Structure 1
Amino acid sequence: MNVEVRRLMPGEVDQFTELIHLFRDVLETDLVTKSRPEHLQRLLARPDFVVFVARFANQVVGGLTAYVLPQYHTEKPVVYLYDIAVGTTHQGQGIGTALLTQLMQYCRRLGVEELFVQADQEDSQAIHFYRATGGFPMQVIQFTYPLNE
């Protein structure tokens, strides 16, 4: 299978939208993007927002989004992997690993100190994936403050 993995650039809003729909389906969320194409374009143009897609047969079959975060105690940033998913028919073929590898290479070129990602304790598939790709688990508790009720 010849899958192309690459970072999206400004102007590639259609592929970003395809990825958002894939996230909704694979991550089983009912969130529908309310963002206009102009907002997605602005995101793609930001140096602190990164989107990688995996394409096969002119279709987005996987991808990830990440945020580059500056730190105050060092000049080296950290990167937060926000979402990563591969379409169900393409899972288990190394696409997720290829996406993560591309992100890590990108981070190394930027001089990033650390890449981190969160996984729900119940998501055994994600936990297995992150362990299998060299991630080190940390026990943390995340608190969320809903602000728009």
Structure 2
Amino acid sequence: MIRRATVEDIPEIHAMVRELAEYEKALDEVRASEEHLREALFGEHPAAFAHVAEDGEGAVVGFALWFLNFSTWRGVHGIYLEDLYVRPTARGGGYGKALLTELARVCVERGYERLEWSVLKWNRPAIDFYEAMGARVQGEWDVYRLTDEALGRVAG
């Protein structure tokens, strides 16, 4: 079952964020707390949205956290999928596909024309999964990021 996340899901989402970061060999980079997620997802001005996947017993086994982006070329919003994660014990059960299907449905329903995300180049299982669903790598684009000291320096 796929559903919109609720405030009660925050502890599980936070735990899965940490599990994902550990899988990506970047657990030491996680600074987000449950309170950060609560504010981002359910605060006065939500900046992000989330869906969760539940197994047959109602346990949360995966999540998709996303936010809106905008295409100046297409003139409409799209969804940027920040994180998609399914716990290892639930992989192969269709939860990842169901989460992506729900986000695609949201795009179509709202007139959004893109569903985009990034994947680590070494994460072959994820790449194979996404490509099997019809997603294609945008090979002409590289992602750039300013953080920490560089962000502060550029901000002046």
Per the TM superposition, whether the score is higher than 0.5 is yes
Larger RCO (CA under 8 A, 6+ residues apart)? 1
Label 1:70 to 1:58 Cα distance change in 2 as closer, same or farther (>3 A): same
For residue 70 of structure 1, give the secondary structure of its aligned residue in structure 2: strand
Where in structure 2 are the equivalents of 1:82-121 lying within 5 Å?
A: 82-121=82-121
Q: TM-score scaled by structure 1? A: 0.82
| Residues matched between the structures, number | 142
Label 1:41 to 1:48 Cα distance change in 2 as closer, same or farther (>3 A): closer
Decide whether the 8 Å contact of 1:5 with 1:53 is kept in 2. Answer: yes
Are 1:18 and 2:18 an aligned pair? no
- The structural deviation recorded for 1:82 is 0.6
Label 1:44 to 1:132 Cα distance change in 2 as closer, same or farther (>3 A): farther
Q: TM-score scaled by structure 2? A: 0.79
**Unaligned stretches of 5+ in structure 2?**
151-156
For residue 77 of structure 1, give the secondary structure of its aligned residue in structure 2: strand
Decide whether the 8 Å contact of 1:48 with 1:69 is kept in 2. Answer: no
**RMSD, aligned α-carbons:** 2.2
Decide whether the 8 Å contact of 1:65 with 1:83 is kept in 2. Answer: yes
- The structural deviation recorded for 1:104 is 0.5
| CA–CA separation in structure 2 for the residues paired with 1:142 and 1:92 | 29
**Higher helix fraction: Structure 1 or Structure 2?**
2
Partner AA of 1:85 in structure 2: Y
Of the structure 1 ranges 67-76 and 86-95, higher mean CA displacement relative to structure 2 is found in 67-76
1:119-149 CA distance string (max 9 Å, x none): 1111111111110111011113222222258
Percent identity reads: 25
1:142 aligned partner:
143
- The structural deviation recorded for 1:32 is 5.1
**Unaligned stretches of 5+ in structure 1?**
none
1:11-65 CA distance string (max 9 Å, x none): x22213312211311441422533527x614523656622110012232100101
Partner AA of 2:148 in structure 1: L
| CA–CA separation in structure 2 for the residues paired with 1:16 and 1:106 | 22
| CA–CA separation in structure 1 for the residues paired with 2:84 and 2:115 | 13
2:153 aligned partner:
none
Are 1:40 and 2:42 an aligned pair? no
